[in-house]
A and B are shown apart, each in its own frame.
Chain A
Amino acid sequence: MDLLSISSTALYTAFILYLIATFFFGATIKDKQTDNKKKGFSGKIAITLTIIGFLAQLVYFITRWISSGHAPVSNMFEFLTFLGMALVLGFIILYAYYKLSFLGLFALPIAMIIIAYASMFPTEISPLVPSLQSHWLYIHVTTVALGQGILGISFVVGLMYLIKEVDQTVRSKETTWLEIVMYILFVFIGFIVITTSFNFMNYNATFEYGQGSSAATTDYHLPAIAAPNGGTLVTEDVMKPWFETPAWFQGEDAGRKFNTLIWSVITGTVIYLITRLILRKRVGATIQPLLKNMKADLLDEIEYRSVAIGFPVFTLGGLIFASIWAEIAWGRFWGWDPKEVWALVTWLFFAAYLHLRLSRGWHGKKSAWLALVGFGIIMFNLIVVNLVLAGLHSYA
């Protein structure tokens, strides 16, 4: 077996281990004691599996690094996979401190969604363009991902807090928003499901677009609902597009990405609706009883702590190391590129969060909502900024 297949097997193994670990974390629901004292047997198995899974992912990372000659953090697949890994690491760190098995039941699925999402992007090893050929690439990107992973835990815990604390007996703004967050998670799952299905069928539809010397083709692996701007379908016997992607979608392959988004939303919605139909109540309301034994106070504190721990790491990676690299590569440490601006936005947001925590009224639910928004900003920077606001960093 060559290194590269070892690498992808290791990633796959990690994924499966996280999945199994999640079930074991789920089994800890029975444990009455949510404090650190007595840890159930299943909790021990679960964390062990998580750590082995993390090590497997480390194997993926190292072998891929060796075989490509550069740290695998240079495209969307690699970066998102790493983010998932960082989230798991953040979880392990906080678990070591708080011994809260339950955290795993929520953190691991989020990490798995991110890793699965990552695998939908091209996974080939790609060579580095000159601007990426720097040690600062690794230093910057790994630190950023680590910071984002730790901050991501605050999202997980904030979500747990809200599921636990939002009153589900009556319909309110809070239940609606919480349900919207759940729905967004379903859209990610929808993306994974639909992409996997059509990949499995080897679906392909080719478009030609652009004019004159800059003509190009793009391959859709999902039936085209939105054609590329100014594109014509050249493959026969496939679904005809319904409309064109608006011109203001920037960047390479904007049409294909937009089309994928449409499919993800459709699939996610369908899965969500089916789930609702089966459950006959809000998804949040369904999960709520699971969290009955948790102390709200402790969740609130962990959420805050993960921001407190993640914020310096993110600052270091996302602003300071980023600036150092930009200074070396482009001769300016700050250029108001969209990606940079969104790192600044993330930073300002969490600074605001920390300051709000200084006052009394901003603990509990309000702060949990902020944690969700904060992670939303991180994901926005990763996905929308890459796909829509093309900048120097446009990865995929």
Chain B
Amino acid sequence: MKQIKCDCGHVNPLGTVLCESCGKPIEENQHIDGNEGKKLLNMRYDGTARRSKTYTKSVVDRIWSFFSSVKVGVWLIVLALIASMIGTIFPQEMYIPANTPNRDPAVFYESQYGVLGLIYYQLGLHNLYSSWWYLLLIALIGVSLVICSLDRFVPLFRALRHQNPKKHQSFLSRQRLYSETESATDEELETVKKQLKKRRYNIKEKDGYLLAEKGRFSRWGPYVNHIGLIIILIAAILRSTPLFFMNEYVWVREGETEVLPGTNGEYYVENKDFIFETHDENDERFKDALSKEGMVASNYQTDVVVYKANRSIPGEEPELEPVVEDSIQMNKPLSFDGYDLIQSGYQLNEFSSMTFKIHETSDADEKSLGSFTVDLRNPQPEFDLGNGFKVVLDQFYPDYYLDDNGIPASETNFPRNPAFVFSVYSEDSEKPEVSFVGIGRNIDGTGENKYKLGIEDFEMHDVSGLTFKYDRSLPFFGIGAVIFMIGVIQGMYWQHRRIWIHKRKDGSLVMAAHTNKNWFGLKKDIETVTENTNIKMVEDQQELGEKDN
């Protein structure tokens, strides 16, 4: 490996921009940091040799250089940003409103948004965030993060760990903040040193050269936060495996017990009661708002018992043993044995059962000739009333409506608006009489029925929709987020400030300073430490104009 020997005797690795020891610019390498012909040095990564800038021949080198470029990183970020925005133009498939007439995406987008919607759908943008190319984009950001961090971290770490306070004059004079003082006394230098220490600078000295440094750890901020991001990306990968993440949904009627899906029948949940509450309309505080908005819900709650199933023989009816009994509210999920149950939906006032009576059509008093009860969850096909009457359930529409062609149909499978077609068999006629009965409807099949059916009684229940899940990736996301936050705070709220001072034999003094951000703060520091001395305040050698070009 070819190496570069500096005038000071230090041997630098190939690709070094500023001598690792004395900081003297290695002239033939200034182009690497885009610094040819510039007055000021590029202090990024202290001019250390980076793999990406040094080796650019082989395929591996090229890939490495590509991903370690901040420009590429920014492009990837910007692409992810634009893609994310596009995903919000129209609702994603999962957010197609529940009350839309046709929720089939093939129909929905075109019917709602016309041609643009159709294009959106056909490009697959209705599932953008799980599309292969979006995930690829995120993955590329991850790769870029890892490579760029390694590319810079290792050399920067070396450079900052072994800093030599003794710097070459051309290193000093080409810093952004620089001053030369004709003559300074030793006392003045001591004052400055004392002041620097007071401001918690670390001071290193060698051969009349002085380096005051503070906040170096903030330089590791970006690397720390990138590690946090990588952990988050890894957590996202873990979450896509069933070992780490499961998400199911159950509807449980009041009074019923359902098996919890995804547990191989190990757990059951009973809905003891679903509670729906609204804000009190007479509440003084909210009166104005409530009169405008109408009723506002205040609580969704399911009182549940979770059971664990004991089966002595596989396949046998299990014996249920209560594990927890608790109430689940929105924002108050129930956790047990690593699982969570979350209040996610509800359906009020479904019919559980309906009781009908038979009476003679002509009987004004509607005296009952017998009655039967239909269990709407599991309707029997036939009811023998015992006194010669038999009723057959021909049709059952749990959620009755008339479709576009005027034909009775059921909108959902939930018994919200049940309607029935019954055939009534009686002793006085061979042919059954057909009746259509629903809420507020009672239609005679022929108009000549002798017997009529009436709703005598009904029972209602609420249904609670519970999300049932585990997410074992959460701790990883949490750790990643914490590390990310530590990293950004470390990098953003502290700055790495360095001040180099050299008092020459002839009594003159040079001072140069550098920081990775917050130059204002650094200048303030220097102002304070040189107060009451004749040491000249540093001058800012960089005008914005230069940066702008």
Contacts and interface: CB of A to CB of B under 8 A. Distances in A.
Interface of A: 36, 67-69, 97-98, 122, 124-131, 133-134, 136, 247-248, 296-298, 300-302, 304-305, 308-309, 311-312, 315-316, 319-320, 323, 327-333, 335-338, 341-342, 344-345, 348-349, 351-352, 355-356, 358-361, 363-366, 385, 389, 391
A57 B386 CA distance: 77
Contact of B547 (A319, A338, A348, A361): A361
Interface stretch (B76-84, B166-174, B182-190): B76-84
Given A301-B519, A315-B484, A363-B547, A130 B283 contact: no
Contacts of A133: 298, 330-331
B297 A126 contact: no
Given A127-B298, A315-B484, 12 more contacts: A69-B285, A126-B289, A128-B298, A130-B297, A301-B520, A305-B518, A309-B492, A332-B247, A345-B85, A356-B74, A359-B70, A389-B91
B296 interface: yes
Contacts of B91: 338, 389
B244 to A, nearest CB: 13
B505 interface: no
Contact of A130 (B113, B299, B488, B493): B299
B34 to A, nearest CB: 7
B294 to A, nearest CB: 10
Contacts of B113: 248
A309 B484 CA distance: 15
Interface string B465-499: 00101010010010001001100110011000000
B77 A355 contact: yes
Contacts of A328: 331, 333
A229 B345 CA distance: 29
Contacts of A360: 34, 42, 547
A364 B544 contact: yes
Contacts of B78: 348, 352
20 contacts: A67-B285, A124-B286, A124-B288, A130-B300, A134-B331, A311-B492, A312-B489, A315-B488, A316-B485, A330-B344, A333-B474, A335-B94, A341-B87, A345-B85, A348-B77, A352-B74, A356-B74, A358-B44, A363-B547, A385-B88
Nearest to A337: B95
A126 B544 contact: no
Given A312-B493, A331-B333, A297 B544 contact: yes
Lowest 10 CB-CB distances: which A-B pairs, in order? A130-B330, A126-B289, A331-B342, A124-B288, A363-B547, A127-B279, A124-B289, A364-B548, A134-B331, A348-B81
Nearest to A319: B481
Interface of B: 34, 42, 44, 70-71, 73-74, 77-78, 80-81, 84-85, 87-88, 91-92, 94-95, 112-113, 129, 247, 279, 283, 285-286, 288-290, 292-293, 296-300, 329-331, 333, 340, 342, 344, 467, 469, 471, 474, 477, 481, 484-485, 488-489, 492-493, 517-520, 524, 540, 543-544, 547-549
Contacts of B129: 336
A345 B475 CA distance: 25
A124 B292 contact: yes
A320 B344 contact: no
Contact of B544 (A67, A363, A385): A363
Nearest to A358: B70
Nearest to A338: B88
Nearest to B468: A331
B73 A355 contact: yes
B92 A329 contact: no
Contacts of B285: 67-69, 125, 127
B543 A331 contact: no
Contacts of B293: 126
A305 B471 CA distance: 38
Nearest to B548: A364
Contacts of B81: 345, 348-349, 352
Contacts of A125: 285-286, 288-289
Nearest to B296: A127
A300 B44 CA distance: 19
Nearest to B86: A341
A103 B91 CA distance: 40
Nearest to A359: B70
A315 B489 CA distance: 11
Contact of A351 (B77, B471, B485): B77
A342 B474 CA distance: 22
Contact of B488 (A98, A312, A359, A364): A312
B547 A364 contact: yes
Contacts of B329: 130
Nearest to B490: A312
Contacts of A98: 520
B68 to A, nearest CB: 13
B84 A345 contact: yes
**Residue among B286, B290, B477, B544 with the most chain A CB within 10 A?**
B544
Given A311-B492, A348-B81, A304 B517 contact: yes
A336 B292 contact: no
Contacts of B286: 124-127
A352 B342 contact: no
Given A125-B286, A131-B331, A328-B333, A297 B543 contact: yes
Contacts of A336: 87, 92, 94, 129
A312 B492 contact: yes
Contacts of B492: 308-309, 311-312
Nearest to A366: B548
B145 to A, nearest CB: 11
B325 to A, nearest CB: 21
A333 B477 contact: yes
A331 B474 CA distance: 11
B228 to A, nearest CB: 10
A129 B84 CA distance: 29
A125 B289 CA distance: 6
A127 B283 contact: yes
A45 to B, nearest CB: 25
Contacts of A68: 285
B544 A329 contact: no
A315 B92 contact: no
B289 A122 contact: yes
A129 B484 contact: no
Contacts of B543: 297
Contact of A131 (B34, B77, B330, B484): B330
Contacts of B330: 130-131, 133, 329
B342 to A, nearest CB: 4
Nearest to B545: A364
A147 B292 CA distance: 33
Contacts of B340: 331
B147 to A, nearest CB: 15
A302 B80 CA distance: 28
Contacts of A349: 81
Contacts of A364: 544, 547-548
A263 B44 CA distance: 51
Contacts of B73: 355
A361 B477 CA distance: 35
A341 B88 contact: yes
A345 B488 CA distance: 18
A125 B291 CA distance: 12
B77 A352 contact: yes
A36 B489 CA distance: 26
Nearest to B520: A301
